[in-house]
Amino acid sequence: MFALIDVNGMYAACESAFRPDLASRAVCCLSNNDGAIVARNRLAKLAGLKMGEPYFKARPLIEAHNVAVFSSNYTLYASMSARFAAVVESLSSRVEQYSIDELFVDCRGMETAMNLEAFGHQLRREVQRHTTLTCGVGISFTKTLAKLCNHAAKTWPATRGVVALTDERRLHKLMAILPAAEVWGVGRRISARLETMGIRTAQDLMRADTRFIRSNFSVTLERTVRELRGEICFGLDENPATKQQIVVSRSFGERVTSFQEMQMAITGFAARAGEKLRQEKQHCRAISVFILTSPFSPRDAPCASQATETLLVATQDSRDIIAAAQRALARIWRDGYRYAKAGIMLADFSGREAQLNLFDECAPRPDSEALMNAVDRINRAGKGRIFFAGQGIDVGFAMRREMLSPEYTTDWNALPRAFMR
């Protein structure tokens, strides 16, 4: 038995959590460089704002409905996600974080202690009490069925945000009214193919021959069919597999045309990638850099280049990663182009650096681990307190975030102040 807890409009809800004045106002959040709409609250949806719509196109509608607009504040969202997870983990011993706003919970044995629907309402109530975030809860025999129940909980207000189905008749009734595209793992492309075969609803998919599905689609979709029948094929993943690569990339707020500016950008990406690598408790040997112009701009000549540097000794030291990234950049840089995006990828991971003798030319830097841990610890207390000089200061190509909200949960100085006279 599984539960899926999913926060309603996570990004927009985080922005409203510290702004009571937004309680009855439409709210939306934008993608990197304030490009397109990536999150909306219920009122913004009712106003007609569409996911993925470019900000400049949506501005007339935004102004007409007095929509509050925010640049994506990833520090705030990550912090609120951690609080959301902590609340759920306090109520259940086995939890899987599926995404920033979704958690799966293993509900085995819960029925002996309390009604499953009551447990769902308890989860929802406690999350809202501790974080202000509103969530939907779906509970059923498998993760795929829990996802369908969650969809029902968020779609129909009469459910009061919780749907717990363990009765096969009621499950079949739900599957009969939901299109196959709403099933976890079935996107538009697969659902379009299924429809040509007469499989239009979740119930049609549940009744499909598994051998036919496997031979015409994939083993994964076959397992999804089995899950719709109540057979557990996707267990709880409490310890996600170690990442095989780390990518840090950004689209620039302004086109980058000088080598010096690109060096600063790559230094910043490499420093962030090194921080992520240490969070994973990994070392890397392969450092790749890529730079490209915009494929959509008629003004920009097409150019996309990538280079990889391979180290003799695996490292987690940002200084080594930055140096390798700069060597790779020097190999692919070409003057005369207006670069729109760049990034860095770390790969070839190992759990520790190679064991070398004292006389080896490629021996690791002394006290590297202690230094990097100190840097990370200081920056956790305040982002960017320590940075590499090569990253530059007040760079013109930085990501555009003109409507960024304060980092309420991680920066004391961002907290609202009240004064008494």
As a whole number, mean pLDDT of residues 274-300 equals 88
DSSP codes, 170-189: HHHHHHHHSBGGGSTT--HH
Q: Which domains does the chain have, with CATH numbers?
A: 8-73 (3.40.1170.60), 77-228 (3.30.70), 246-391 (3.30.1490.100)
Q: 112 or 275, which is more confident?
A: 275
- Report pLDDT for 3: 94
CB 355 within 8 A of CB 257: no
Mean pLDDT score across all residues of the chain = 87
Question: In the sheet where 27-30 sits, what is the strand order?
Answer: 37-40, 27-30, 68-71
Q: How many CB atoms lie within 10 A of CB 57?
A: 12
Task: Using pLDDT thresholds of 50, 70 and 90, give the confidence band for residue 360.
Answer: very low
Q: Is pLDDT above 50 for 335?
A: yes
Q: What are phi and psi of 158, to 5 degrees?
A: -60, -20
Q: Using one digit for the tens of pLDDT, what is the confidence trace for 166-208?
A: 888 999 999 999 999 999 989 888 999 999 999 999 999 999 9
Whether the per-residue pLDDT at 299 is higher than 70: the answer is yes
Greater pLDDT, 149 or 251:
149
| Intra-chain end-to-end CA distance of the chain, in Å | 56
Q: Measured between alpha carbons, how far is residue 33 from residues 220, 236, 252 in Å?
A: 36, 36, 7
pLDDT in tens, 1-41: 899 999 998 999 999 998 989 989 999 999 887 888 999 99
* Three-state SS at 268: helix
Residues 30 and 71: beta-carbon distance below 8 Å:
yes
- Give the DSSP H or E segment for 108: none
22: which residues sit within 8 A by CB, 6+ positions away?
15, 16, 68
Q: What is the predicted pLDDT for the residue at 392?
A: 77
For residue 46, give both structure tokens: 């009712």
- What backbone torsions phi and psi does residue 249 show, to the nearest 5 degrees? -145, 160
User: pLDDT tens, 113-122?
Assistant: 888 999 999 9
Query: What's the pLDDT band for 239 if we cut at 50, 70, 90?
Result: low
pLDDT on residue 352: 64
Structure-model confidence comparison of residues 413 and 42, the more confident one: 42
pLDDT in tens, 372-390: 989 888 887 766 678 888 8
SS (H, E, C) 269-330: HHHHHHHHHHHCCCEEEEEEEEEEECCCCCCCCCCEEEEEEEEEEEECCHHHHHHHHHHHHH
